[in-house]
Amino acid sequence: MSESTHDDPIDLPRAADRFAALGHQARLSIVRCLLRAHPVGRVAGELQEELSIPASTLTHHLDALRHEALITQTRQGRFVRYFAHTHALRQLTEFLYAECCSASDHSIADHRAAGPSVKHHPGLPILQD
């Protein structure tokens, strides 16, 4: 029990790149499929069938995910098996969660409450109610 969720916190530019990698339907499908198949993984052909896209397009997306270290690959004979890189994915959720957990959900409901008012110097946006 030494390795619960010990992180290297991820930096913002990297997080943005990784979010971008997930920001495509085909690639997010791949990642979800690999997470569900974890730790067995899936070979490229299986992914291709699941996604119904041309092989070259699939490879392109797999490269993009691999470049961001969100998945890994290994050759098994004629097949290439892909795996979700769960640690990298967890880092990503934690990037948001770290900031998000302390934020309670006031904002949406009471927008109006956010009141401007009480201005000091003109030009300085004060919040306060």
User: In the complex, which residues of this chain contact DNA (CB under 7 A)?
Assistant: 20, 23-24, 26, 43-45, 48, 53-64, 73, 75, 77-80, 119, 122-123, 125
The tokens 């690959």 sit on which residue? 73
What is the Cα–Cα distance from 117 to 25, expressed in whole angstroms?
44
Please name the amino acid found at residue 30. Answer: I
For CA atoms 69, 54, 49, 16, give the dihedral sign. Answer: positive
Partner from its own copies, DNA, none contacting 67, C-beta within 5 to 8 A by type: none
Residues 39-98 that bind its own copies (CB under 8 A): 39-41, 43, 45-46, 72, 74, 76-77, 79, 81, 83-87, 89-90, 92-93, 96-97
What is the Cα–Cα distance from 47 to 30, expressed in whole angstroms?
7
What is the Cα–Cα distance from 48 to 107, expressed in whole angstroms?
42
Interacting residue ranges for its own copies, rule: CB under 8 A: 12-13, 15-25, 27-29, 32, 35-36, 38-41, 43, 45-46, 72, 74, 76-77, 79, 81, 83-87, 89-90, 92-93, 96-97, 99-100, 102-108, 111-112, 114-116, 125, 127-129
